[in-house]
Amino acid sequence: MIFKKSGLLVLIFSVIAFVGAHAQQEDAAVVERRIEGLLEQMTLAEKAGQLTQFSDVGDVTGPASADASVQKKRELVKSGLVGSMLNVVGTENVRALQKIAVEESRLGIPAVFAFDVIHGHKTMFPIPLAEAASWDLDLIEQSARVAAVEASAQGLNWTFAPMVDISRDPRWGRVMEGAGEDPFLGAEIAIARVRGFQGDDLAAEDTIAATLKHFAAYGFAESGKDYNAADIGTVTLFNVVAPPFKAAIERAGALTVMNSFNTLNGIPATGDAYLQRDVLKGDWEFEGVVISDWGSGIEMIDHGFAADARDAARLAMNAGSDVDMESHVYAEYLPSLVESGEVALGDVDDAVRRVLRMKFKLGLFDDPYRYLDAARENASLMTPEHRVMARQMAEASIVLLKNEGGALPLGKGERIALIGALAADKDTPLGNWRGRAEAGSAISVKEAFAAAGVDFSYVEGAPVENGEASFPTEVQVNLTDRSGFDAAVAAARAADKVVLVLGEDAYQSGEGRSRANIGLPGVQDDLLKAVYAANPNVALVVMSGRPLVLTWADAHVPAIVQAWHLGHESGPAITDMLLGKVNPSGKLPMTFPRSEGQIPIYYNYLNTGRPGPRPEVFWSHYTDEENAPLYPFGHGLSYTAFEYGRLRVRDVDGGVEVSVRVQNSGGREGREVVQLYIRDRVASISRPVRELKGFEKISLKPGQRKTVRFKLTEEQLGFYDGRGAFRLEPGAYDVFVGGSSAAGLTASFELKSGR
């Protein structure tokens, strides 16, 4: 009887699944028919319009267009000849433009409204690099979900995030926007973010289309200088740069991809047919929309790749860049390029189909005003629940880099000198890409100290910068004003302990913010040394959008905390961590160098033919610097301790199982990121000395043990060769398990067959 019942249930569910799938196919067929119907009616100018995206004239996030094109832009929008807009925010503003597109244009095709929702929209979460330091995929997905709820409530249906550029160069200001140096961690985080943004139904009013950016290798800008050329081999392209893009398309269904400003091996990405047509749309079968970056089409003239604007339009379209953001070249030149045969009508139609499909998926054809509910807008922004989630994310993102002699947590009743401009700064924690957050609205460390009843005195010590910083303007770093040093030294002397909050202003990292010297900016290094001389019991809290060179601090200061730019809840999260109410659990997603001369520096390097150390000079090293970083990828301490043992490797169906027992050997509950690395000892290309292939963030009470199991599949054991072909080769592998990429617990196994 039970069998009959379960058999009947299986039958019922199968029928439901079949009907569901069939209905989806039906829906898709109907959509395709509607798209073809529109295409048949559209003029070439209207098709070019669908492939054109303009920014609202007010809030620009790139080089502002000249006046004349602003007027032209307005006319095109007015005529409904603009497929999408960016930087138009708010149900009222969006409705005004959507009404024109839908009710005044000839075909009434709705527009899509995009915005850079990078780490929150109204409620600021930690910058993406900080979130990556949490290694907590659930929290990261939740963070993107909150951002989508708030952004969609303001009429937006498309975000230009997640940025998934892998980078090994902290001089590059945009490392703050990504997930660090590792392709495996980067891929998992890209998937979590896309799922958070897109949810299960893109037509739902609280989900938005995601954008994987910037395709490709933008993070390999030479010398860490933004927009600079990137020259990498195809082994690095396919094994380091590509995985986050490919994984988020295949496993999270990312709807759009943005190409990048840089040349890759001499070809501007926007004009690179190999990248966009052969790899992305060809091998990976990407069916979504490819959008250019801001003006990256017209910038191919400066690259010396396009002769003029018309040539730029031709090259971009022929290379597979579907939508032109702020180059003003598709609307202007595509019709004549098709008429002259320099661009195939089929390519333009394919691009338009992709854009129209996106609009159907977003539900905009069913209801162009779906995202425009003023009541929802007011109810959804900066809610208490969102603040709680931002706090959880901030707490999980803090990395304890050093903690000697129990310097932290702060002892009860200790008299604290809180020093540093950033300790009172309510704006910097909001980070560089701060969406619609109100300037100066974060809770500062100083405010949180007061709220927590800490016995402290506050002294600024020295301003980080002179004057106001902003998104498009250079920060004027304070290089001379030391007038607050004496007061800081006096406060340090009078205190039991010093909490010194130093680092970067929000606008010292992010786009256009490369730094050749990545120490503490301005006079802060001198302030650190002056305060330390007065009282060596210093807990240094570093706020930054990138790894900084902290070598002097590491050699002197007992405790160092990496506190990034943590968003609205920065102050309380840092304070609760310093007081011991929160046990830090973050791990570095990017290597911290000892000096700029080591850069690029990363954990998954190749061994070279002359590893060391050796007694003579003929090995790969510096004569004046160590090879090792200051803090390695995956590093992060806790207020408790974790011990690893019983590392076991065994063959299982479909791969190899690695198990390890982890114990909390300390006195308080804590969370640990258990990390699994492999080394493929011999292969047809040289493989890195270590590669992250698994991680799990676990919570353990004092004395508690847990066995963590990882499965290494062919996908994780294989690699891509220089032609982008996947290879799995038999041979010996080492595994390393522990709390950082320097994990010492190791075992090995033999892979008997490949493919």
301 burial (CB, 10 Å; 0-12 / 13-18 / 19+) is middle
3-state secondary structure of 661: strand
Q: Taking CB under 6 A as the rule, does residue 116 contact ligand GLC?
A: yes
Neighbouring C-beta atoms of residue 451, cutoff 10 Å: 12
Beta pairing partners, 661: 645, 707
Identify each DSSP E strand in 586-669 by its residue range: 642-652, 655-664
Q: Which is nearer to ligand GLC, 434 or 679 (CB)?
A: 434
DSSP annotation of 381? T
Kindly tell me which of 53 and 105 has the beta carbon lying closer to ligand GLC: 53
Q: Find the shortest distance in angstroms from Cβ 369 to ligand GLC.
A: 24
**Residues 616, 186 contacting (CB under 8 angstroms):** no
Considering only residues 49, 51, 62, 154, which one is a binding residue for ligand GLC as defined by CB under 6 A? Answer: 62
Note whether 584 binds ligand GLC by CB under 6 A: no
> Is residue 511 a contact residue for ligand GLC (CB under 6 A)?
yes
Contact status: 158 vs ligand GLC (CB under 6 A): no
Q: How far apart are CA 177 and CA 427, in angstroms?
A: 17
Minimum CB distance to ligand GLC, residue 122 (Å): 18
- Comparing CB distances to ligand GLC, the nearer of 116 and 427 is 116
Shortest CA distance to 396 belongs to which of 253, 527, 164, 574? Answer: 574
Closest separation in Å from C-beta 123 to ligand GLC: 20
Q: How far is the CB of 542 from ligand GLC (least distance, A)?
A: 25
Using CA of residue 329, residue 331, residue 333, residue 339, what is the dihedral sign?
positive
Contacting residue, 119, 168, 193, 213, with ligand GLC by CB under 6 A: 213
Reading the block at residue 435, the tokens are 């969406």
Interacting positions 279-318 with ligand GLC (CB under 6 A): 293-294
Pick one of 61, 69, 551, 665: the residue that binds ligand GLC (CB under 6 A). 61
The rounded distance, in Å, linking the Cα atoms of 94 and 755 is 53
Which amino acid is it at 151?
A: A
User: To the nearest whole angstrom, how small is the minimum distance from the Cβ of residue 301 to ligand GLC?
Assistant: 17
Q: Which is nearer to ligand GLC, 302 or 715 (CB)?
A: 302
Give me the least distance between CB of 56 and ligand GLC, in Å please: 11
Kindly state the smallest distance separating residue 293's Cβ from ligand GLC, in Å.
Answer: 5
* Binding residues among 65-94 for ligand GLC as defined by CB under 6 A: 86
**Contact partners, residue 9, CB within 8 Å, separation at least 6:** none
* Distance, CA of 146 to CA of 389 (rounded, Å): 8
Contact string 241-280 vs ligand GLC (x = CB under 6 A): ----------------------------------------
The smaller minimum CB distance to ligand GLC, of residues 172 and 294, is found at 294
Sheet (strand 289-291) strand order: 211-215, 256-259, 289-291
Q: How far apart are the first and last CA of the chain?
A: 46
Residue 346 identity:
G
Q: Which residues contact 523 (CB under 8 A, 6 or more apart)?
A: 462, 478, 479, 480, 481, 482
Residue listed under structure tokens 């208490």: 384
For residue 188, what are the CA distances in angstroms to 135, 182, 234, 555, 578? 9, 10, 22, 34, 30
Torsions phi, psi of 600, nearest 5? Answer: -75, 135
Running DSSP on this structure, what letter comes out for residue 313?
H
Residue 58 burial (CB count, 10 A): 10
Q: Residue 158 Cβ, how far from ligand GLC at the closest point, in Å?
A: 10
CA distance 219 to 262: 9
Tell me if 160 contacts ligand GLC by CB under 6 A: yes
CB-nearer residue toward ligand GLC: 113 or 603: 113
Beta strand 465-466 with 267-268 is unpaired
Q: From the candidates 56, 293, 322, 505, give the one annotated as an active-site residue.
A: 293
The smaller minimum CB distance to ligand GLC, of residues 117 and 139, is found at 117
* Region for residue 304 given its phi and psi (left: phi exceeds 0; alpha: psi -120 to 50; beta: otherwise): left
Would residue 293 show up in a list of annotated catalytic residues for this protein? yes
**Residue 652 per-residue DSSP state:** E
Residue 45, token pair as written in the block: 């100018």
Which is closer to ligand GLC, CB of 312 or CB of 502?
Answer: 312
Q: State in angstroms the smallest separation of the CB of 89 from ligand GLC.
A: 12
Neighbour tally for 79: CB within 10 Å = 16
Reported residue count of the chain is 755
In whole angstroms, the minimum distance from the beta carbon of 604 to ligand GLC comes to 26
197 binds ligand GLC (CB under 6 A): no
In whole angstroms, what is the distance from residue 120 CA to residue 144 CA?
7
Distance in Å, CB of 85 to ligand GLC, minimum = 11
Q: With b meaning 16 or more CB within 10 Å and e meaning fewer, what string describes 213-224?
A: bbbbbbbbbeeb
Strands of the sheet containing 705-713, edge to edge, are 642-652, 655-664, 705-713
**CA torsion, ordered 154, 158, 160, 164, to nearest 10 deg:** 120
Count of residues that bind ligand GLC according to CB under 6 A: 9
Q: Which C-beta is closer to ligand GLC: that of 160 or that of 371?
A: 160
Measured from the CB of residue 670, what is the shortest distance to ligand GLC in angstroms?
36
Both structure tokens of 625: 């610097």
Q: How far is the CB of 513 from ligand GLC (least distance, A)?
A: 12
Closer to ligand GLC by Cβ: residue 61 or 228: 61
Residue 136 contacts ligand GLC per CB under 6 A:
no
Nearest residue (CB) to ligand GLC, 126 versus 295: 295
With beta carbons less than 8 A apart as the criterion, state whether 673 and 585 touch.
yes
Which residues 6+ apart lie within 8 Å of 303 measured at CB? 263, 268
- Choice between 227 and 631, CB closer to ligand GLC: 227
Binding mask 469-508 for ligand GLC (x = CB under 6 A): ----------------------------------------
| Inter-residue contact 156 to 371 (CB < 8 Å) | yes
Task: State which residue, 105 or 256, has the beta carbon closest to ligand GLC.
Answer: 256
User: Of the candidates 422, 430, 449, which has an alpha carbon nearest to the alpha carbon of residue 382?
Assistant: 430
DSSP β-bridge partners for residue 658: 649, 710
Which residues are near ligand GLC by CB under 6 A? 61-62, 86, 116, 160, 213, 293-294, 511
Active site residues: 293
